[in-house]
Amino acid sequence: MSLLGTFDVGTTGLVAQSLRLNLIASNVANAETAVSSDGQPYRARHVVLQSEARAGRVGQGVKVARIVESTAEPRLEYRPGHPLANTQGYITMPNVNPAEQMVDMVSASRAYQFNVEMMNTTKQLMLKTLDLGK
């Protein structure tokens, strides 16, 4: 793989992890949203990534295959005075697990940082190569 090809691969990783971080932020922001725009509790969303074969280029990047909603059941909270409570006093809340989201956020952030470091190392290698010609 050429040194310039590593920038292509790194860029695909940065884009994918950036989208992943945005979805995690959306999940955390809506963790207490009892009713979304469709009248149902918010459902956590996750990114599905897959390798990306790049035609005519050496190396593979990553791309977002799709965004999926979590299939976990919404959680029930006992709040008898709440206007959305059912006859038993429970309201249906989003299926967002804040602890899981924080672990995912750290993972996505680290993956983003690794891609930046890889691109910075490549840049340093290119600069050192240019210095050899002096």
Pairwise pLDDT comparison (28 vs 133), residue with the higher score: 28
For residue range 80-122, what is the model confidence (pLDDT) as tens digits? 988 888 999 999 999 999 999 999 999 999 999 999 999 999 8
Position 57 pLDDT exceeds 70? no
pLDDT tier at 5 (50, 70, 90 boundaries)?
A: confident
Give the C-alpha distances (Å, rounded to integers) separating 10 from 89, 112, 133: 50, 9, 27
**Per-domain boundaries in the chain:** 3-132
Q: Quote the CA–CA distance of 9 and 20 in Å, as a whole number.
A: 17
As a whole number, mean pLDDT of residues 56-77 equals 86
Position 1 pLDDT exceeds 60? no
Tokens of 18: 């950036």
Q: What one-character-per-residue DSSP string does 26-95 give? A: HHHHTTT-SS-TTSS----EEEEEEEEE-TTSSSEEEEEEEEEE--SPPEEEE-TTSTT--TTSEEEE--
Q: Quote the CA–CA distance of 61 and 45 in Å, as a whole number.
A: 23
pTM of the full structure: 0.83
